[in-house]
Structure 1
Amino acid sequence: MIEKPLPPGDYECCESGCDRCVWDIYREDLQEWEAAQKAANANPEPPQATPTISEQKNS
């Protein structure tokens, strides 16, 4: 699972109208994170079975 992206700090945007502003990159990263969250919630991983003591001894 990827971590939720943090918005750029006030000092990171130069407000010069860059083609790829840090805010554009943040928005893209946030959309990717939201899609991953949605997919993870739609298909949760099944719980892992805990081996019994006898299974652990046989390993």
Structure 2
Amino acid sequence: MRDGEAFDPEPEAPVAPEDSMCCGSGCDPCVWDLYREEMDDYRRRLDDWRARREKE
């Protein structure tokens, strides 16, 4: 990191829920639905982070 640059750590992937965290009753949203949304967000943030790295 150069002087004056903001700290920009690589995004961390969300932790997948344990199988036991899903009750199997069709909840809306299910813990797995929320995890997929978190993964989608993580992938977007990771793509943005990588793009910033390429500019350096």
Tell whether the structures are fold-level matches, with TM greater than 0.5.
Answer: yes
Structure 2 unaligned regions, length at least 5: 1-9
Distance in 2 (CA, whole Å) between partners of 1:40 and 1:2 is 8
Aligned residues: 47
Question: After TM superposition, what 4+ stretches of structure 1 lie above 2 angstroms from structure 2?
Answer: none
Other-structure match for 2:42: 33
Higher relative contact order (CA 8 A, sep 6+): 2
Alignment of 1:1-59 (within 5 A): 1-44=10-53
Alignment RMSD, CA only?
1.8
Question: Greater CA radius of gyration, 1 or 2?
Answer: 1
TM-score normalised to the size of structure 2?
0.72
TM-score normalised to the size of structure 1?
0.68
